[in-house]
Chains A and B, each alone.
Chain A
Amino acid sequence: MLKIWHMKQKQVAADAAEGPAKRRVTAAQLRAQKDITEISLPSTMKMDFPDPDDILNFTLTIEPDEGLYRGGSFEFTFAIGSQFPHEPPKVKCKQKIYHPNIDIEGNVCLNILREDWKPVLNLNAVIVGLQYLFLEPNPLDPLNKEAAEDLKNSKDMFARNVRSSMQGGYVRSERFDDVRKR
């Protein structure tokens, strides 16, 4: 099979010029393209591509029309690395918000973004997961411990805190970003 080695060496130069050099699309781009073109967003979500030639970096805006976070406009950045889909996309919330599963740095606690990510999951699954966080904030997996405690102690107080934080107000000593939908 591999006696090609020594014997064929002489004719290499002659055969080498076979059309222009091959330049291939990366596996990450290929998969991201497929995922992105298959996403169908509900009216409460919008994707934006600051550089339309770079589909590996984009933002997702979620504007929930029900639940405690209704009326807000929440922006997330997505960064898809070269190891996608073997590694999950990196997702961060751009605003400082009061949410039990999102800390004030914008880190998001969503199982499929980390420990439960699998290459068969796609970007749509991540987007659905993010949307769900605004409908059902989960106090059992807290990233913002205080917000989670508030939710556990009193749903009414938590709801009030969400409202004032979304208007750019304070919760305890922390001031949050105004995320009201414009």
Chain B
Amino acid sequence: MAVGYDVEKWKYLRRVLERAGPFTDKDSFDASMVKEALKDVKILVIGAGGLGCEILKNLALTGFKNIDVIDMDTIDVSNLNRQFLFRSSDVGQPKATCAANFIKSRVPDVNITPHFCAIQDKDIDFYMSFNSIICGLDSVEARRWINATLVNMVDWNNPDTCKPLIDGGTEGFKGQSRVILPKMTSCYECSLDMLTPRQAVPICTLATIPRQPAHCIEWASILEWPRVKGDLKMDTDDPEHITWLYTTALKRAQEFGIEGVTYTLTQGVVKNIIPAIASTNAIIAASCCNEAFKLATNTAPFLNNYMMYTGNEAVYTYTFEHERKENCPVCGEQNEPTNVTIRKDVKLGEWIEELKARADIQLKRPSLMGLGKSLYVQQPPQLEEKTRPNLEKLVSELVGNGEEVAVSDSALPFSLRLRVLYE
């Protein structure tokens, strides 16, 4: 029983670990194994910012022993008010590393491994090595990436490839936490249309009649930067670039008699910074970590599957089951690739004829593309001409074993995915 939960500080944790509660699912709760399970669970925290600091602290203090944290950012002085694992002396250092060191110094029996890089830099094997993933991100793009990656990893021959994703998010006084079981419950992509689109200002308003300080800043970044700086890529983390945008926007604001352009606002507009409130982060992170704990231990039923927290108009929380979207481009069943086995000596043209003859897919004029490769595209004529020579090539020269081919056709309301396997 020497798994490290016997000491006094885990006394209250032991109460939930050692006996089932009224809502515990008796079939999946096993008091003899649960401590072992919690000790062995390997969890990945994505983001070591406002939510990330809370999440890491909570996990370490609820008995998780193996934690990895990944974040590509370095610490900015403006983070220090709420990202409490960092000190002024850490400014400029990687968030992941500093957060890991701090946790390690306070909770020494936790194995915590930092990764100072983008999530896209890690491969499938990396994500496969965790039992669960918690996200405390501020970017839709990163969420979509990790969601799609985890969904694509699922292989029903091996249930361990289904990695629960717990996603937390906050904006001011509002937030949400959700549990995504890839391919089993609705995924992040399924709910994408719930996002309020960012209100874009017509580009002609920016160019001619700015009315707000933000219009002047957008004008500076969207129109003036490329005009003056040419191909130089804008880096929103570079203080010199922000300063240039700020002074350019300020001049414009003065021309139009607009007040309120500041350096901070400039940073806020170009980086699309949303106000972060420490206590909202704490609420959402607490919910996420409780879900992680329940998933790992089966001590109580976990969230099914979406909890929204609305603190901006008094307090209102609502939990509901967000349903899967049938035609979700990431987890929808119709987007599941169909395996097709073909001979190595079949030419692309012959294969297309074979596909057209298949009664189960009913194609008329199919266009085929591989991963970043045009195989045969019938429309527009310029692409048809350029891809026509491929018809004489062997499919095996063009598509790797296991690679996907996307088929579009006027007869198909969606795109068909085929996964090519060779005999």
Real complex partners, A and B?
yes
Distance in Å from the Cβ of A151 to the closest Cβ of chain B? 14
Chain A residues with CB under 8 A of B192: 86
Which one of A24, A38, A54 lies within 8 Å of B337 (CB-CB)?
Answer: A24
Which one of A34, A82, A117, A142 lies within 8 Å of B207 (CB-CB)?
Answer: A142
For the complex, is B13 an interface residue (Cβ under 8 Å from A)? no
Those of B21-49 within 8 Å (CB) of chain A: 27-28, 30, 33, 36-37, 40-41
For the complex, is B350 an interface residue (Cβ under 8 Å from A)? no
For the complex, is B275 an interface residue (Cβ under 8 Å from A)? no
* Inter-subunit contact A107/B382 (CB<8 Å): no
Chain A residues with CB under 8 A of B189: 27
Q: Which of the candidate stretches B95-103, B233-241, B400-408 sits at the interface with the other chain?
A: B400-408
Chain B residues with CB under 8 A of A55: 369, 374, 377, 383
* Inter-subunit contact A40/B379 (CB<8 Å): yes
Chain B residues with CB under 8 A of A101: 204
* Inter-subunit contact B386/A142 (CB<8 Å): no
Chain A residues with CB under 8 A of B207: 103, 107, 109, 142-143, 145
Tally A-B pairs: CB < 8 A.
172
* Inter-subunit contact B402/A22 (CB<8 Å): yes
For the complex, is B77 an interface residue (Cβ under 8 Å from A)? no
Closest to B385 in A: A52
For the complex, is A155 an interface residue (Cβ under 8 Å from B)? no
Give the B interface residue count (CB, 8 A). 74
Which one of B329, B373, B410 lies within 8 Å of A53 (CB-CB)?
Answer: B373
For the complex, is A23 an interface residue (Cβ under 8 Å from B)? yes
* Inter-subunit contact B377/A19 (CB<8 Å): no
Closest to A59 in B: B382
For the complex, is B164 an interface residue (Cβ under 8 Å from A)? yes
Which one of B204, B298, B387 lies within 8 Å of A141 (CB-CB)?
Answer: B204
Q: Is the interface of B mostly helix, strand, loop or mixed?
A: mixed
Chain B residues with CB under 8 A of A2: 28, 164, 181, 295, 298, 302
* Inter-subunit contact A25/B158 (CB<8 Å): no
Chain B residues with CB under 8 A of A115: 199-202
Give the A interface residue count (CB, 8 A). 58
Those of B396-423 within 8 Å (CB) of chain A: 400-406, 408-410, 414-415, 417, 419, 421
Chain A, residues 67-101, CB within 8 Å of chain B (1/0): the string is 00000000000000011001000000000000001
Do A36 and B379 form a contact, CB below 8 Å, given A2-B164, A2-B295, A52-B386?
yes
* Inter-subunit contact B159/A53 (CB<8 Å): no
* Inter-subunit contact B379/A53 (CB<8 Å): no
For the complex, is B172 an interface residue (Cβ under 8 Å from A)? no
Those of B150-181 within 8 Å (CB) of chain A: 152, 155, 157-160, 162, 164, 181
Chain B residues with CB under 8 A of A113: 203
* Inter-subunit contact B226/A105 (CB<8 Å): yes
Give the docked Cα–Cα distance between A19 and B160 (Å).
Answer: 17
Do A107 and B223 form a contact, CB below 8 Å, given A2-B28, A19-B421, A142-B207?
yes
- B residues with CB within 8 A of A: 27-28, 30, 33, 36-37, 40-41, 124, 131, 141, 144, 148, 152, 155, 157-160, 162, 164, 181, 184, 189, 192, 199-204, 207-208, 222-223, 226-227, 295-296, 298, 302, 329-330, 337, 367, 369-374, 377-380, 382-383, 386-387, 400-406, 408-410, 414-415, 417, 419, 421
Q: Which 4 A-B pairs have the closest CB atoms?
A: A20-B402, A3-B28, A52-B386, A6-B37
A-B CB contact pairs (8 Å), 14 listed: A4-B159, A8-B159, A22-B337, A25-B406, A27-B148, A29-B406, A36-B377, A39-B380, A46-B380, A52-B383, A101-B204, A105-B223, A109-B203, A143-B208
Besides A24-B371, A55-B383, 14 more A-B contacts (Cβ < 8 Å) are A2-B295, A3-B28, A6-B40, A7-B33, A8-B159, A9-B40, A22-B402, A23-B371, A31-B415, A33-B369, A38-B408, A115-B201, A117-B200, A141-B204
- A residues with CB within 8 A of B: 1-9, 12, 15-16, 18-25, 27, 29-31, 33-34, 36-41, 46-49, 52-55, 82-83, 86, 101, 103, 105, 107-109, 111, 113-115, 117, 141-143, 145
